Structure formats: C-alpha cells, structure tokens
Amino acid sequence: MKIEICILNPYPSKKSNDKLKKTALEVVGQNSRIFINENLVEDYFNYHHETTSISDLIKSVENNTNSDAFIVASYEDIGVETIRKMTSKPILGIGEASFYTANIIANKFSIITNISQTHEAIKNNLIKYDMDHKCVSLKSIEVPILDMETMSKGNIKKLEHEVQRTISEERPEAIIITSAGISDLTKTLSDKYGLAFIEGITAATTLIENLIKLNLKIKKFEIKPSRNLGIPI
C-alpha cells in the first residue's frame, strides 16, 4: 500500500522544510512518501502570521489531490479544525499528536516551548483534548523557532538547563519539546536522562500513517443548505 503524507508548514523556510521532511522519513514505512508544500509564503515566525495563514493552508489542501493525509507543523494546531471540515482525509497537528503520544505512555508530562507567546493556545488545546490535568508544567526557553534550527551550543545549553530543572522540580514521565524536526536531539536527551522525549513530526507521522492503513471512513463536514425565506406561490 503506497501512502503519501503531506506536511503543511505554516512558517516555512527551505532549511525547516528540509529538516521536517528528513525527520518524517526516519519513521515512515518503505512504501510511504513525504511531501512538503513549498507554495506557502516564507516568513519568520510570528503568531499573527501563523494565525492569518490558515487560508493558505486551506488552499494547499484544496489543491492537493494526491496526498492521503495532512500534518500541520504547528504546535498550536492552527487551522486543524478548519481543515477537517473540508476533507475526509486524516488531519493531525503536531501538538495534538505529541499530547496524545505522551498521554499513552505517561501519567504526567511536561512541555518545553521555544517561545512563551504560544502558551495560551497550547493551554487551550490541552483543555480541549482533556489533557490539562496530565501536563504538570509548561515552560519556555525563549529561543525563536528558526534559531533552534542552527542548534547552536548556546541554544542547546538553554534547553538542557530547562530539562534539568523540569526533571528535578516537576518529575514528569515524558517531556514534549516544541521544536519540530529535532529528533536527533530528542534521542540524545532521552539517552542522557533516561526519559521519553517527544518531538511532534515523528509523533504525527507515525500516528497518521497508521490511521491511513486502518482505512477509516471519516465523515466530512456537511455545509447546511441555504435558507429559503421566500413564500412559495
């Protein structure tokens, strides 16, 4: 069974797209293909841009007839609910995938984000997914997303410092790191601290590949018929 999974990156750059694709390919089966839509506007991340780019994500899905499923590379799961209303194909946000993965393997988990301005959306999503009681901490290292791509020693040091503090004070059974595509670093941290570290692209790719294989019939949102306010004659 040949499968094509499309990754939608709301704030793309060539470097981030290449990293996301490489990370997804590490966990998919031999018959699966990863496609990244590169038609979105390249821009440095800011929350306003991500929110207003939902229309671009929708157009990308509407124009894509080849892919079997879609992953939205946003830890805030921006646009996921909207896209689900327009297609019967599986849709996953990397935030949702990470939370559900952590929920399966851990009684409590922590989240370490790049920037704190994402916290409100993440908190709201945790409540919506009924997982807020399992999340024991939500902290930020205040490193912009594209800066994390460089993997500088300073950025890694900030991350490791927060990891150590989180383990010491919160004692989680798993830690979600909201830097998509850093599977190599999550493996290193897992080996170093003996704890599960979860990265969104690998979590979402693994889950959505299996959803496709299940061949579930997903109900598509039905548009209500327009009301006829006229009086028939």
Task: Encode pLDDT of 165-175 as tens digits.
Answer: 999 999 999 99
Q: Are 197 and 184 in contact (CB under 8 A)?
A: no
Question: Looking up tokens 């297609």, which residue turns up?
Answer: 87
218 vs 231, higher pLDDT: 218
Mean pLDDT of the residues in the chain = 86
The CATH fold assigned to 3-94+203-214 is Rossmann fold (3.40.50)
Range of weakest confidence among 9-18, 44-53, 205-214:
44-53
How many residues can be counted in the chain?
A: 233
Residues in a beta bridge with 93: 72
Is 67 a residue whose pLDDT tops 80? yes
- Distance, CA of 226 to chain centre: 35
The residue extents of the domains of the chain are: 3-94+203-214, 95-199
Q: Two tokens at 187?
A: 């493996």
**Rounded Cα–Cα distance for residues 121 and 76 (Å):** 6
Note whether 173 and 109 are within 8 A (CB).
Answer: yes
Please say whether the structural domain 95-199 has been given the CATH code 3.40.50.12500: yes
Residue indicated by tokens 């990754």:
7
Which secondary-structure segment (H or E) carries 32? strand 32-36
* pLDDT of residue 119 exceeding 80: yes
Residue 54 has pLDDT above 80, yes or no: yes
